[in-house]
Structure 1
Amino acid sequence: MKKSLFILAAIMLLLGACNPTDDPSLSTSTSPTDITSDPSDSSEPTSSEPNDGDGEENPGYYEGTYGHAFKQTDFSSNGGVTEVINGLAWQYSPFSFLGGSGNGVQIGSSNNPQTSPWTLSASFPSEVTVVNVQFEIANASGGSGTYEVSFGSTTWSGDYQTETQTLTKFDYEGDETLAEGISFTFQANAKALYLYQLNFSLHIPSDVNFPITVDIEAERDPVIPGQNGIPSTRYEPSTKESYFASVDLSSTGETLKSTLTARLENDSYRSRYGDAKSVLLYADEDPNNPGYVLGMWDGDKIPAIWDQGASWNREHVWAYSHLQLPGTQKRGDDANDHTADLFNLRVACQFSNGFHGNKFFDETNTDDTMFPNITSGLNGYHAYTGDWRGDVARICFYMFVRYPGLKLVSATTGDDVSMGNLTALLAWNELDPVDAFEIQRNNRIYEYQGNRNPFVDYPELAGQLFQ
């Protein structure tokens, strides 16, 4: 009888509380360079077994998929030992530096890059046919390097380089190849390299027991208001044109600020801070992966459930300790003042939430990294080079015009009603344009609060406001 190994082909990362997978900045390389293969070794195994009676010839193999989402704890030493991961025994060479968090494994650092090749290799229990191979990596901003994947007679190699710390997927599109093992080699010319995931599909001979597995999370249902604990919406959807029809969008400075403030205050509603536990599941849902929310800072894809804060927190982008306007309510689930405004609350895993703390935002000259999207300056403020820069800027601009008394300053420190650095935020508004996630989030928060973020709808207003 034909054997079948029922393994879903989609690979999703589930790394404890924080799980980055396909974040908004994901780019895919569909034309890898320098692929060499011997066509004579690329045919599938055939079977001499008789027909199994269902009208189809038994091909003599079953299909299997291996996949793993890497984390630092997968490696118990600095190299030279074997780790069994998802059914395969992997050997790996020494790291120049081993780091990371729940989000991938950091190989090398800016001070000690992996300039010598780092290899991760595994042997198969029998010769199998490698059908396709994928891996996902990121590197610190300005970093570059090489990769080489070998299996059977095939060597697939190329260069990697990204201008920002962007998760990038590489897909092998060559011939199928018979192989007794597989190896991945990476080398960094500078900066840190982050290995997130690798996976490959195999045709395994029917008489071979090969119990490989994948890190997998089943597809989840989309988040729908009024169902599964998500509150029903309060407002019918609105367009930006109709909402801002009464605002002179060509105005500038204080005139623009006062008219925006009046519009945002009018007929708006603020939920309780406790309600954000469920409303953010809808507001921050990943447009490309229904049933998952996107984590701020590190781009985690997290199942859209509230698990008492085990997986994610409600992050104040404009830090709570810098929102201390007169009459500010005590922090807690019953608060429904400006500290509970949904535009300023984002899903974030616990570690990155604590890492941000109450720091201001600014550029930094250091490359110390905790996540591919976060860099921390030793002077105490917080900066990062991922695709959340524009989001942060536009949230801060919104809070500034929505709540008179809050201040945006061109500095890296300030009092308990200030946030900055305004100069950096204005630059970030230009560098990181509005994307599909921000547009969806703006529309969905309107359905609960009855107001919109004008700087998501019209990013150019920031320049007019602070000219």
Structure 2
Amino acid sequence: MKKITLLFIVLISAIGYSQSVVINELDSDTPGIDDQEFIELLSSTPNFSLDGYVLVLFNGSASGGDSSYFALDLDGYTTDVNGLLLIGSTTVSPFPQLIIPANLIQNGADAVALYLGDDIDFPEGTLATQTNLVDAMVYDTSDADDTGLMALLGVTEQYNEGSGNNTNSIQRFDDGLGNPNSITYVATTPTPRALNDGSGILLNGVLTSVTQSQVDEGSVFDITFTTEQNVDSDLTIDFTLSNGGFDTSDFTGNTSVVIPTGQNTIVTTITLIDDVLDEGDEVLKIVIANLPTVYIALNNNLEVRVVDNDFVVASFGTPLNPTYGIVASTQPSDYYNTLDGLSGSALEQALQDIVAEEGVVRAQTYSDIIDILEAADQNPANSNQVWLVYTEQGRAKLDYQTTSNNTGTWNREHTFPRSLAGYNSIDLDDFRDGKDVYWNTTADSLRHGNSDGHALRAADGPENSSRGNQHYGQYNGPTGTAGSFKGDVARSVLYMQIRYNGLSVESGYPSVTGQMGDLDVLLDWHRNDPPDDFEMNRNNVVYEWQVNRNPFIDQPDLVEYIWGNQIGNVWSQPLSVASFTTETIKIYPNPATDKLFVSGKQQLYNLSIFSSEGRKVLSQPVVNNSYVDLKLASGLYMVVIESEDKRITKKIIIE
């Protein structure tokens, strides 16, 4: 009986060390932004079909619970002439046969396992198992052994790639003797798409390069293809440039080239067509079709940005060069009517009833915010860019951050930080499903604050990180900037208190979840940076998606009645002559001290100021976008502005 048992164990051991496919090499951690990670599989025979296999990544951390976080179906993929399949991101060289996102593979202690099955057999959170297991590797980057994960996968050793930001990979070596001791794993210099022992067929690498990574419409640029070794017969390279909206109508030039026998390079010139359409900046992608068996692409999917010179310049200015009165509010005529005659908490409640009305107001996903910001924060000086809130500059819409590297990118900035508010994303936030797909929302739907377009802005990636979750006042923007964002973010944060139950704006720098400061700073920012056309335009854009508005852009005086020097006073909408409201005359700042600015569409206005008792205290003409000097006592005044038989009346506070 003992002999039979021993024979069975030997047979099982032999089977275990002669799998058709094994995990040959793993690089889970690379220096810098960690985008050179890869997994390499090895089949016992070349050109082996991987149909019926699935690769699964397991998270060995305490929060991961030794469960799956990614499953990759290998149906349709085949190993190469050396029996290898390289899996990695587009930044890995040689170029992988199977592409996965950069920085996907976790550092450890974790595991990668190969199974017979499909990706649907391993939904996220599936506990590691030996059922249908073909091969597994438990690994780390100088971490403690995960004995639980090892036991679940039936392995007895965990392999260390090296400490963080190492330059190693874990490689499998087989001495061919066919016993358990034949297989060893070593952390050493990576050898992607090559056998670890240096054997096999040497593949000739093809490198693609361009003279410029960014070109304008109407320009020309060269694409060069270079092989590592001179070719021993003519090598034809076919490639495409199409990507998204960029297609064959956007360029001329050869997309099939030949490297002659005995040479190693060929150049082709591409001419970009200068049309008259504003298509936005585009990215062409140089994609090489299948190469002959003995060749390998060292890189592929090389991108070149095509800058559209037909961008649109808006009729209004950027926040750095603000204009007023050009962009009219798209609010319904009766949008704020229910506020008249109210004060205090009744005014706040009536305002919330408008901006959080269930069945009317819509909540969008956090991914939809990207589309919202591309429209709401569009740079007035260049329609192919967004305007960055703190750094006060334009940036290409194409430069939205998609990896862990935020340099030169823009991303979504919460003016009321998530960690202070207590909201976050859910899985459904990952879908950009458009304005016509939305959630019902109420004043109690605090989670929807995570994706409220009124409280998110396009921001420079590194500057967003610098701001972190600081209160305003602690954070005042980059040194040397004009502060054109201050009134905008103040009104954004104040809106959040009204829109969502559980949020409030407080004096100082509170540490209670749901509270944000500093109220005194934000009031000062609001008063000294009144709403301009850029802000009114973004209010209109967000309204299209959410069917609610930021009332402090439409009616900035409301701020004083809720937080400022008019608390307790009864609110009534500014008086105006109907024919004059379309012009949207702006007077600012309010409250004022020694100067009052006037901005609108006309070149000249007649301005009169009346005391609260109705006595005229000042009357004079004022040129558009200029100011009048105020030498008046503190108090409430009425300002009447007239031009071409039209008149509007506004309230101001003089401090």
> TM-score when scaled to structure 1?
0.44
Structure number with larger C-alpha Rg = 2
> TM-score when scaled to structure 2?
0.32
Higher relative contact order, structure no. (Cα contacts within 8 Å, ≥ 6 residues apart): 1
